[in-house]
Amino acid sequence: MNVLILGAGGHGQTVADALLRATRIDLETRAIGFLDDTPELQGWRYQGIPLLGRIDRVADVPHDGAIVAIGDNSLRRQIFLRLQALGIKFVSVVHPTAVLALDVEIGPGCYIGANAVVGVASKIGANTILNGGGCLGHHNRIGDHVHIAPGVNSAKDVHIDEGTQIGVGTILLPGRSVGRWSVVGGGSLVARDIGDGVLAVGSPARAIRRIVADHGKH
C-alpha cells in the first residue's frame, strides 16, 4: 500500500516514522511522499521521503490511501472532509508497537502512536489522533477529529466527543465524558463531565472559559 502523508510538520514526520517502521515488517506498506502547502518546504525530504507539492495535488499523485497528518483539529477536519467529498481514500496508520484489543474499531484516517494501548470494545472515530504512551480503557468512545496528546490515560466507559483536544498526561476517570470541540489542559484530572466548547483545566478539571472559535465548521 502506497500512502500519501498530507502535512509535513512535526506530526507528519511522526506519521512517516511509524510508516517507515511498519515497512520493515510489511514491505508492501510504505510512505511515498508528503504534500504540504508551506512554501519553504518545497523540495524538502524526511528520511528519504520527498515532499511532492501542495495538498491540492493529492488527486494527481498515484497512491492507495492518504492520511491528514496535521495536529490542529479544525484544519485537519476541514481538509479531511473536503478531500473525502472528492473521493480520496483515507487510511489509518498504527505504530507497530501499539497494542489494540482485537475488537477495537478504528475509523478512516486515524493515527495511533508508539506504545499506545486501546482496550476491548473501544471505538475511535475518523481522522483522530491518539499519540503515543497512553492508554484508553475498555469501552471507550472517541469521536471524529479528536486529538489525544501523549501520555493520556482513560479508565473504562470514557466518552470524548468530536473535535476535542486532550492535553498531555491527562487522566480521565471511569464513565466521564468530554463534549464537542473542547480542550482539556495538560496534566488535568477529569473527575466529572466536561461540556461542549470549553477550556477545562485542573485536578479535578473544571471549565474556566468558553472557547470562541468556529470549531472546524467550514
**Residue 216 pLDDT more than 60?**
no
Mean pLDDT of 77-106: 97
The residue from 16, 36, 70 where one domain ends is 70
CATH number of the domain where residue 60 is located:
3.40.50.20
Q: pLDDT tens, 139-167?
A: 999 999 999 999 999 999 999 999 999 99
Per-residue b or e along 35-48, where b marks 16 or more CB atoms closer than 10 Å to that residue's CB: bbeeeeeeeeebee
- Distance between CA atoms of residues 107 and 208, nearest Å: 32
pLDDT more than 70, % of the chain: 97
Q: Are residues 45 and 153 in the same domain?
A: no
On whether the CB atoms of residues 115 and 74 are closer than 8 A, the answer is: no
Per the CB < 8 A criterion, the answer to whether 147 and 71 are in contact is yes
pTM, entire model: 0.94
- Pull the grid cell for residue 94: 498504527
Query: Which residue is associated with the grid cell 508497537?
Result: 97
Domain region containing 8: 2-70
84, part of any domain: no
Q: Which residues contact 183 (CB under 8 A, 6 or more apart)?
A: 164, 165, 167, 198, 199, 200, 211
Q: Per-residue pLDDT for 1 more than 80?
A: yes
Q: How confident is the model at residue 217 (pLDDT cuts 50, 70, 90)?
A: very low
**For the segment 7-39, what is each residue's pLDDT rounded down to a tens digit?**
999 999 999 999 999 988 877 889 999 999 998
Q: Are residues 196 and 155 in the same domain?
A: yes
User: Which CATH number belongs to the domain containing residue 178 in this structure?
Assistant: 2.160.10.10
Instruction: Please determine, for residue 79, whether its predicted confidence score (pLDDT) is greater than 50.
Output: yes
Do residues 105 and 43 make contact, with C-beta atoms less than 8 angstroms apart? no
Question: Catalytic residue numbers?
Answer: 138
> Could you tell me the pLDDT band of residue 43, with boundaries at 50, 70 and 90?
confident
Judge whether residue 218 has pLDDT over 70. no
Residues 51 and 142 placed together within one structural domain of the fold: no
| Over residues 36-59, mean pLDDT | 92
Number of domains composing the chain: 2
